[in-house]
């Protein structure tokens, strides 16, 4: 099989990154232009693949645009790619966010060195050339991790993502950027090492002499071996997601990363964890997935409530958004491990919509921080009166984050809770409390920063310009359109989720009629 479509999708941003790295020092404007052109080209090509993708309930058509080239022959490792509906929509979301981040980061980065750093001549370097080259390099690995169909190749991309994000946080982040970057790297590296051991264990125990995903499914022996291997994958993905209690790196990394880096970190990189649950944990380890489902559901619900309460107590806007994301990943977790088609479809749709919503929220907060030079909520007040366009976008991003009906996130949350309720009523009922808490922390954030008396420092703020509006426009449009008509995306996701449920040996619960025992008259 030598379909080169996905290889070309990887090659476009890789070429763009190499071109930017090769530019002479000081050609920052050209670097931005090159990054924008190549990121838009990547997104356009992803859209073409989306239109060529054939929605089918035939299992033979599950993975499309497949291409495979021998990499390490003696171990059966291949440079193999292919996408199902789950991977396709996540790739589309990822390739959209990159040009949005490029435009939003055009003139400056959101974090500014504090007075102590300036006095010590230790202000973070602001090389636009390096920053935009790293963004495109990160895009290569983001697309690769969703498109890989060889488990070893997936692991390589899984680890490679750490490098550009480490430098984005460590070189372009806030005052505590070095601490945040090292913490992010060490947590992710620990998870990656656990997964590497599990990958080797899967290869040995399956006895297939191949790392191809389709060859490994159904060949990992049941029993204690499968459970230990499942935990190796699960912990790596739980750290990446992150799920409570593996979450402590995210508030620091999300707060200290530049706005564009934070949008990609939470909007895309963290989705690799929840994607890994669906793509690898469930199909490769069906017995273990069923065995550990209840504890994971409980952890997910705890994460929803725990992170929501912590979000309400934050003074830093970006840390607040990071904690809200931890709560949202709890919803995704219950959708996946409820083992229903509705829950799984809702979880995947939640991944996409959360990327759009949180990406927009991080970007608009970054634009606000660039004007006010502070991430503290208390340093703002009455901003919407001075910058009505910024205030309007902030409100829309916040309403999307709390899953207001009419926003795309509402459909995701509804499907996730509905799918969970059919199998785990108590879990779903407790999880709904997170909706109320989300309304509290989002509306309080908007009220404190955008409403009330106008602070003196806010009076000099300028409103969003044409470039900034153009940057956030596609995200706003998709949030509104998918909130009204999500059917095209759901139709792409559904078959892949059904195949995953078949792999794990689960079928949707049958509805109970009034005439059946337990039904209502």
Q: Which pLDDT score is estimated for 110?
A: 36
The CA distance from 118 to 123, in Å, is 5
Lowest-pLDDT range of 91-100, 128-137, 507-516: 507-516
User: Does the pLDDT of residue 300 top 50, yes or no?
Assistant: yes
Q: Which pLDDT score is estimated for 1?
A: 57
Q: Which pLDDT score is estimated for 521?
A: 38
pTM for this model (two decimals): 0.92
**How much of the chain exceeds pLDDT 90, in percent?**
61
Q: Which pLDDT score is estimated for 114?
A: 40
User: Does the pLDDT of residue 447 top 70, yes or no?
Assistant: yes
Match 């470039």 to its residue by tokens: 467
Q: How confident is the model at residue 241 (pLDDT cuts 50, 70, 90)?
A: confident
pLDDT tens-place string over residues 210-220: 888 888 988 88
Q: Which pLDDT score is estimated for 516?
A: 54
Mean pLDDT of the chain: 88
User: Does the pLDDT of residue 454 top 70, yes or no?
Assistant: yes
**How much of the chain exceeds pLDDT 70, in percent?**
94
Q: Does residue 514 fall inside a structural domain?
A: no
The CA distance from 213 to 285, in Å, is 12
Is the separation of the CB atoms in 26 and 130 below 8 Å? Answer: no
Q: Which pLDDT score is estimated for 144?
A: 94
Q: Does residue 520 fall inside a structural domain?
A: no
* 280: containing domain: 5-113+123-504
Query: What's 278's DSSP letter?
Result: I
Q: Does residue 377 fall inside a structural domain?
A: yes
The CA distance from 221 to 205, in Å, is 7
Residues in the chain: 521
Partners of 68 in the beta sheet?
80
Q: Does residue 509 fall inside a structural domain?
A: no
pLDDT tens-place string over residues 175-227: 889 999 999 999 999 999 999 999 999 999 888 888 888 889 888 888 899 99
Q: Which pLDDT score is estimated for 313?
A: 87
Q: Which pLDDT score is estimated for 119?
A: 39
Q: Which pLDDT score is estimated for 292?
A: 93
Average pLDDT for 441-468: 90
Of 108 and 37, which is predicted with more confidence? Answer: 37
Three-state SS for 274? helix
Q: Does residue 391 fall inside a structural domain?
A: yes
Three-state SS for 418? helix
User: Does the pLDDT of residue 7 top 90, yes or no?
Assistant: yes
Q: Which pLDDT score is estimated for 182?
A: 93
Q: Which pLDDT score is estimated for 506?
A: 76
| 77 phi and psi angles, rounded to 5 deg | -95, 130
Q: Which pLDDT score is estimated for 61?
A: 82
User: Does the pLDDT of residue 73 top 90, yes or no?
Assistant: no
Q: Whose CA is closest to 229, among 287, 278, 146?
A: 287
For the chain, how many structural domains are there in total?
1
User: Does the pLDDT of residue 117 top 50, yes or no?
Assistant: no
Q: What number of helices (H) and strands (E) belong to the chain?
A: 24, 2
Is the separation of the CB atoms in 88 and 492 below 8 Å? Answer: yes
Is the separation of the CB atoms in 420 and 343 below 8 Å? Answer: yes
Rounded to an integer, what is the distance from CA 254 to the centroid of its chain?
12
User: Does the pLDDT of residue 332 top 70, yes or no?
Assistant: yes
**What element of type H or E holds 121?**
none
Average pLDDT for 284-298: 93
Lowest-pLDDT range of 42-46, 133-137, 380-384: 380-384
Q: Which pLDDT score is estimated for 118?
A: 36
Q: Does residue 390 fall inside a structural domain?
A: yes
User: Does the pLDDT of residue 317 top 70, yes or no?
Assistant: yes
SS3 content of the chain, % helix, strand, coil (to 5): 75, 5, 25
């Amino acid at each position: 099989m030598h379909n080169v479509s996905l290889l070309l999708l990887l090659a476009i941003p890789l070429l763009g990154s190499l071109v930017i790295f090769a530019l002479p020092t000081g050609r920052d404007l050209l670097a931005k232009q090159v990054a924008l052109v190549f990121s838009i080209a990547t997104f356009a090509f992803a859209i073409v693949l989306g239109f060529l993708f054939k929605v089918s309930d035939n299992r033979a058509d599950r993975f499309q645009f497949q291409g495979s080239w021998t990499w390490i022959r003696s171990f059966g490792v291949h440079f193999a790619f292919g996408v199902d509906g789950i991977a396709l929509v996540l790739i589309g979301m990822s390739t959209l966010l990159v040009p949005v981040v490029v435009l939003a980061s055009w003139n400056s980065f959101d974090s500014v060195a504090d007075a102590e750093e300036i006095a010590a001549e230790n202000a973070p370097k602001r090389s636009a050339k390096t920053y935009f080259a790293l963004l495109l390099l990160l895009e290569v690995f983001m697309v690769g991790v969703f498109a890989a169909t060889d488990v070893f190749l997936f692991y390589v991309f899984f680890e490679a993502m750490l490098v550009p994000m480490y430098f984005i946080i460590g070189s372009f982040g806030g005052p505590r950027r070095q601490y945040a970057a090292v913490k992010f790297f060490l947590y992710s590296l620990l998870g990656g090492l656990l997964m590497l051991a599990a990958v080797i264990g899967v290869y040995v125990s399956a006895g297939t002499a191949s790392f191809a995903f389709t060859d490994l499914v159904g060949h990992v022996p049941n029993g204690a071996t499968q459970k230990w291997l499942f935990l190796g994958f699960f912990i790596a993905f739980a750290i990446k997601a992150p799920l409570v209690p593996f979450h402590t790196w995210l508030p620091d990394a999300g707060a200290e990363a530049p706005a564009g880096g934070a949008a990609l970190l939470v909007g895309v990189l963290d989705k690799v964890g929840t994607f890994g649950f669906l793509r690898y944990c469930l199909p490769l380890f069906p017995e273990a997935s069923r065995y550990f489902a209840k504890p994971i559901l409980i952890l997910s619900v705890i994460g929803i409530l725990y992170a929501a309460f912590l979000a309400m107590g934050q003074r830093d806007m970006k840390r607040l958004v990071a904690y809200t994301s931890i709560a949202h990943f709890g919803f995704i977790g219950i959708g996946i491990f409820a083992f229903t088609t509705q829950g799984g479809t809702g979880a995947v749709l939640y991944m996409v919509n959360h990327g759009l919503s949180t990406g927009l929220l991080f970007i608009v907060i970054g634009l606000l921080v660039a004007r006010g030079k502070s991430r503290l909520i208390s340093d703002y007040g009455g901003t919407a009166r001075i910058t009505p366009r910024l205030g309007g976008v902030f409100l829309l991003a916040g309403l999307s984050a709390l899953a207001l009906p009419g926003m795309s996130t509402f459909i995701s949350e509804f499907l996730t809770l509905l799918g969970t309720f059919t199998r785990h009523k108590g879990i779903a009922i407790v999880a709904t409390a997170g909706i109320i808490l989300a309304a509290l922390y989002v509306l309080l954030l908007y009220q404190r920063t955008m409403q009330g008396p106008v602070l003196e420092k806010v009076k000099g703020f300028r409103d969003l310009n044409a470039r900034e509006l153009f940057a956030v426009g596609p995200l706003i449009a998709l949030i509104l359109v998918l909130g009204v008509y999500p059917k095209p995306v759901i139709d792409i996701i559904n078959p892949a989720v059904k195949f995953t449920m078949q792999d794990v040996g689960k079928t949707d619960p049958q509805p109970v009629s009034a005439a059946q025992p337990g039904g209502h008259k």
